[in-house]
A = this chain, B = another copy of it.
Amino acid sequence: MKLTPIAERFILHWGEMGTRWGVNRTMSQIHALLYLAGRPVHAEEIVETLSVARSNVSTSLKELQSWKLVKVVHVMGDRRDHFETSGDVWELFRIIVTERKRRELEPTVDTLRRCVASADFEREEQTAQHRIKETLAFMETLTRWSDEMLRLEPETLMKLMKTGAKIQQILRGKNAAG
């Protein structure tokens, strides 16, 4: 696949950002490529387009699948695996947030719970005790809340976000009403 300058810029940038988001460059580049392509692409085409090793593409695709960002599809009359990603940016966002929550929040909630449940937790310094409990409560609230949000339809979510500025009024309205 021949990339236009703009597509190239997009893919390279996405790759750079990937490293800041905790995934490797190739993986994000491949994802960006599939996203722009908007059609099933086979591994060899990715190799040629991005100039990376076949093995690298293979592992990155596996990783992308484990993130549920990419799935394998087949094209009639072609026995090679083809890969594609969702074109719905909201859905992608949802997937990423869910996965990051699982990897970056849940282990901490576990640890905090075990801290609080520990036999000698009450013997901790008051401050420490209090802060650990606060942190746990915060993370649980955050988790529950984002679960709620992520369960919404993209459209509802979008509407909600666009309401943005009015959040406070809504809250007040709701409190006044109920």
Contacts and interface: CB of A to CB of B under 8 A. Distances in A.
A127 B36 contact: yes
B160 A167 contact: yes
A128 interface: yes
B111 A13 contact: yes
A164 interface: yes
A141 interface: yes
Interface of A: 4-7, 9-10, 13-14, 17, 20-22, 35-39, 87, 89-90, 93, 103-104, 107-108, 111-112, 114-115, 118, 120-121, 123-125, 127-128, 131-132, 134-135, 138, 141-142, 144-145, 148-149, 152, 156, 158-168, 170-171, 173-174, 177
